[in-house]
Amino acid sequence: MNNEAVVASANTEDFAEMQRKRQFRKNKWLFSLGGIGRDMSYQLITAFLLTYIQFGVSLELAQFATLSVIIGVGSRIWDAINDPIMGAIIEGTNLKWGKFKPWIFIGAILSAVLMFLMFNVRVFTGWDFVIFITIIYLLWESTFTMNDIGYWAMLPSLSSKREERNNVTMLTVFFAGVGAFIGQGLVVLLTPGNVVKGYSLISGIVAISLIGCQTMTSFGVKETPRLEVPKEQKISLKHMMKTIKNNDQILWMTLSMLLFTIGNGLLTAFAYNLYYLEVGYDSKTIIFIVIFGACNVLVNLFFPKLAARFGRKKLQFVSLIAIIIGYIGVALIGWWAFFPFNIFTLSVFGALVFSGQTMFYMSSIINMTNCVEYNEYKQGERNEAVVSTLRPFMAKFGSAMQYGIVTFVLTVSGIFILSQNISLMESQKNFLSNIKTNEEQIAYLSAVGRYLDIYESVEDQNEANELVAQAIAEDTFMATYLLKPEYVESLGDCRIIRTTYVNGQAQKGSEINLGKWKDIDESQLLKNQDDTSYVYTMEIRGKNFNAANENFKDKSNIKMRIWLRATVTVVPIALIFLAWLIQRKKFIIDEEYYDMMLVEIDKRRAEALQSQENNNEI
């Protein structure tokens, strides 16, 4: 080859590399930004579905436990079938639109619709509600799997260069954290005292965000064509299972990430029960969520430089220390007057927990992603979708374990039974708001007032419950409002607000607080006149009162506090320590090992190309 040919070839390679880098920069932003809507939706379901059911739906303990077991255990059986099949389907996809993007887009649309239905269809009650949520949840999980496996399988295909891989992974986890922060913030701001309508609104916002963000990724990212050794066989389920079985590093990482996911999510899963029980039923937890978001942002911004300087193993050790100190702090606050449990002390120690967990998670995600190159190094095939199948499976299995732990603790501690006071308040507030006529509102308010009078006049609680149950059963109008006698008394501490409307317009300053429901006289309930009408609403908390606190926090006991505190501190420390120990002892793909693999992989590809060229010449 003459000098001119060598120069031309070099110029061509430089231009191709410049084009590749330009496309990568575009891809990394459109891909990672797409994760905002994804994690808003994932956070809403995994972190708050049980919270919504606990505080917004009146269920018997058996119904709540059954639903949790079905979601936690039954859905995992479904995952064991669904996830690997989906991974094999994606791996075998060869459409003009791409290998990953069709499943990302279709999964986003379908899961968004199902998520919206989950929080907005309230025509079912009791066991019918359990059946409805079970069906909707399994369908949601199947459609989200399409999106989830497709999305995470695309990540390692964007680049094999270490710095670029670290950079795009950092951005992806960063924007996923932004999505989780937004989702949590919406719940904190919109649901306390307004659970039913709050979750209805939030699910609509999140569904639109999911579709919008994933549309950007699906139509904006250009899948990078990869030069690989030709495959002689299609991806079958048997071949897929063999691939996973022979990749010891992905198996160890899956076990480690499973333990981490369970421990990592317990503080979030119990955060609202913990805060409501220790501090009160309000929206001040937004400060805690802001701390979570700030820690996520800072750690993600500095992670690439820290990883380049110290290496992921050292960062994981530092993160483990921060996590342990943070959890110990959360365990100790609130037991002594000089060390109170409030939003500020919780946020200080929460900052250590969140910073450590984010750093550990970032390192682990990169480790898990690098198992794709390890698979190519050991088995001669990348199989991104097959290897990446284990990440969502691990995440959802970890979520299922969390559901089981949450249900167990809420049940044995008695917290769920006590929280049904709030659930009844929230559901009845929604019922009252949806009553269309003044006459029906007055009839409803008067009937509940009579039930409350029974509790005032009858000393024996069981006898009062029986009398109220009989009264409800004999009244066909009130039977539709799903009042549970054992919790009706809690409604007496709620306030009733009367607003005056003239010719259909609410009059400014006409809102009158009639006082506690149990103290209201029927003469205060005014009927509509010719051009004047009255609308009644119910308030659970407000200035100088909080009916939820009176019937939840103030009635809690030491057993409940100990169960919660141990579950959100001792258990996570143990699980995350085991996750760290597994990676420390069993995971071998550090920075040097990864670079060595890339050199060997490139050498094999060059040899394969040279062999192919020689065969073509012959």
Residue 1 forms part of a structural domain: no
- Cα–Cα distance measured from residue 360 to residue 573, given in angstroms and rounded to the nearest whole number: 13
- Cα–Cα distance measured from residue 159 to residue 166, given in angstroms and rounded to the nearest whole number: 10
Mean pLDDT of the residues in the chain: 86
Secondary element (H or E) of residue 504: none
Claim to verify: residue 359 and residue 431 sit in the same structural domain: no
Q: What's the CATH code of the domain at 268?
A: 1.20.1250.20
Contact 244, 379 (CB under 8 A): no
- Beta strands per DSSP E along 431-516: 495-502, 505-506, 512-516
Q: Which of 10-14, 78-82, 417-421 has the least mean pLDDT?
A: 10-14
CA angle 182, 83, 168 (to 5 degrees): 45
Residue 317 forms part of a structural domain: yes
| Residues in contact with 424: Cβ distance below 8 Å, sequence separation at least 6, in sequence order | 58, 483, 484, 487, 488, 490, 491
Q: Indicate whether 80 pLDDT > 90.
A: no
Q: What is the pLDDT of residue 160?
A: 72
- Cα–Cα distance measured from residue 429 to residue 440, given in angstroms and rounded to the nearest whole number: 14
**Main-chain dihedrals φ then ψ at residue 526, nearest 5 degrees:** -85, 140
pLDDT in tens, 166-224: 788 878 888 888 888 888 888 888 888 888 999 999 999 999 999 999 999 999 888 76
Q: What is the pLDDT of residue 229?
A: 41
Q: What is the pLDDT of residue 245?
A: 80
Secondary element (H or E) of residue 73: none
pLDDT in tens, 343-387: 889 888 989 998 999 899 989 988 988 888 888 888 888 777 666
Q: Indicate whether 432 pLDDT > 70.
A: yes
Claim to verify: residue 542 and residue 612 sit in the same structural domain: no
Residue 3 forms part of a structural domain: no
The mean pLDDT of 21-41, rounded to a whole number, is 89
Residue 13, number of CB atoms within 10 A of its CB = 10
Q: Indicate whether 93 pLDDT > 80.
A: no
Residue 4 forms part of a structural domain: no
The mean pLDDT of 60-74, rounded to a whole number, is 84
Q: Tell me which DSSP letter residue 143 carries.
A: H
Residue 2 forms part of a structural domain: no
pLDDT in tens, 291-335: 877 887 788 788 888 888 888 899 999 999 999 999 999 999 999
Q: Which residue has the higher pLDDT, 101 or 320?
A: 320
Residue 351 forms part of a structural domain: yes
| Calculated CA dihedral for residues 63, 67, 69, 71, nearest 10 degrees | 180
Q: Indicate whether 17 pLDDT > 90.
A: no
pLDDT band at 232 (very low <50, low <70, confident <90, very high): very low
The mean pLDDT of 435-459, rounded to a whole number, is 93
Structural domain boundaries enclosing 238: 24-224+234-413+557-587
CB-facing half-sphere around the CA of 436: CA atoms within 13 A: 0
Q: b/e map of 117-153 (b: 16 or more CB within 10 Å)?
A: ebbeeeeebeeebbebbbebbbbbbbbbbbbbbbbbb
Please choose, from the candidates 150, 151, 137, the residue with its C-alpha nearest in 3D space to the C-alpha of residue 88.
150
Q: What is the pLDDT of residue 240?
A: 63
Q: What is the pLDDT of residue 305?
A: 84
Q: Which residue has the higher pLDDT, 180 or 540?
A: 540
Q: Which residue has the higher pLDDT, 593 or 16?
A: 593
CA angle 265, 201, 286 (to 5 degrees): 45
pLDDT band at 615 (very low <50, low <70, confident <90, very high): confident
The mean pLDDT of 234-239, rounded to a whole number, is 59
The mean pLDDT of 448-472, rounded to a whole number, is 93
Residue 170 forms part of a structural domain: yes
pLDDT band at 230 (very low <50, low <70, confident <90, very high): very low
Claim to verify: residue 532 and residue 577 sit in the same structural domain: no
Claim to verify: residue 396 and residue 456 sit in the same structural domain: no
CB-facing half-sphere around the CA of 290: CA atoms within 13 A: 8
**Alpha helices by DSSP H, 34-125:** 35-56, 61-69, 75-91, 101-120
The mean pLDDT of 41-49, rounded to a whole number, is 87
Claim to verify: residue 127 and residue 37 sit in the same structural domain: yes
Claim to verify: residue 608 and residue 532 sit in the same structural domain: no
Contact 133, 120 (CB under 8 A): no
Contact 583, 250 (CB under 8 A): no
pLDDT band at 98 (very low <50, low <70, confident <90, very high): confident
The mean pLDDT of 34-44, rounded to a whole number, is 91
The mean pLDDT of 527-554, rounded to a whole number, is 92
- Cα–Cα distance measured from residue 383 to residue 92, given in angstroms and rounded to the nearest whole number: 10
Claim to verify: residue 198 and residue 283 sit in the same structural domain: yes
Domain total for the chain?
Answer: 3
pLDDT in tens, 557-594: 999 999 999 999 999 999 999 999 999 999 999 888 98
Claim to verify: residue 251 and residue 317 sit in the same structural domain: yes
Claim to verify: residue 567 and residue 598 sit in the same structural domain: no
Q: How far is CA 68 from the centre of its chain?
A: 15
Q: What is the pLDDT of residue 480?
A: 86
Claim to verify: residue 533 and residue 601 sit in the same structural domain: no
Q: What is the pLDDT of residue 227?
A: 45
Q: What is the pLDDT of residue 163?
A: 77
Q: Which residue has the higher pLDDT, 335 or 90?
A: 335
Residue 6 forms part of a structural domain: no
Of the chain, the end-to-end C-alpha distance in Å amounts to 20
Q: Which residue has the higher pLDDT, 65 or 580?
A: 580
pLDDT in tens, 127-144: 999 999 999 998 998 899
The pTM of the full predicted model, rounded to 2 decimals, is 0.78
Claim to verify: residue 382 and residue 504 sit in the same structural domain: no
- Cα–Cα distance measured from residue 242 to residue 297, given in angstroms and rounded to the nearest whole number: 39
Contact 488, 513 (CB under 8 A): no
pLDDT in tens, 492-532: 999 999 999 998 888 888 899 999 999 999 889 999 988 89
Claim to verify: residue 514 and residue 392 sit in the same structural domain: no
The mean pLDDT of 121-132, rounded to a whole number, is 90
